[in-house]
Amino acid sequence: MHIKEGENPESFKITRKWLRDHNSQHVTNNFSPVQLLAYDGERLAGSLDGEFICGKLHVDNLVTHPDFRQQGIGRKLMQQAEEIAAKNNCTGIYLDTTFFRQETFIYKRGH
């Protein structure tokens, strides 16, 4: 056996499926993907993607195109995600953020 470093999107899909298959044997909830796309006309302006896991919504990516930042798109995507989570009887939402610029994303539920 050997280990190598690399980025292979197909391998990522395969190993993620292994994990979901294993975990689905131990939990009652199915793992369901969630993707929300924000458009300005025909142009993609932002995206939120994640999945439902064990009664919670895990947001993996929340991003807006640089041309559309600071316009409330992230907030609107999170509000829509909250509505979807509530309809699916989720008990929580997980969002992990990292920022590299002075302006930060602050989301307060219900705002």
All structural domains of the chain with their residue ranges:
28-111
Higher pLDDT, 21 or 59: 59
Looking at the domain that runs over 28-111, which CATH code has it been given?
Answer: 3.40.630.30
Q: State pLDDT tens for residues 59-99.
A: 988 999 999 988 999 999 999 999 999 998 888 888 876 66
Residue 27 has pLDDT above 70, yes or no: no
pTM of the model: 0.67
User: In angstroms, rounded to a whole number, what is the distance separating the alpha carbons of residues 1 and 31?
Assistant: 31
Q: In this structure, how many other beta carbons lie within 10 angstroms of the beta carbon of residue 50? A: 22
Query: Residue 46 pairs with which residues in a beta bridge?
Result: 38, 64
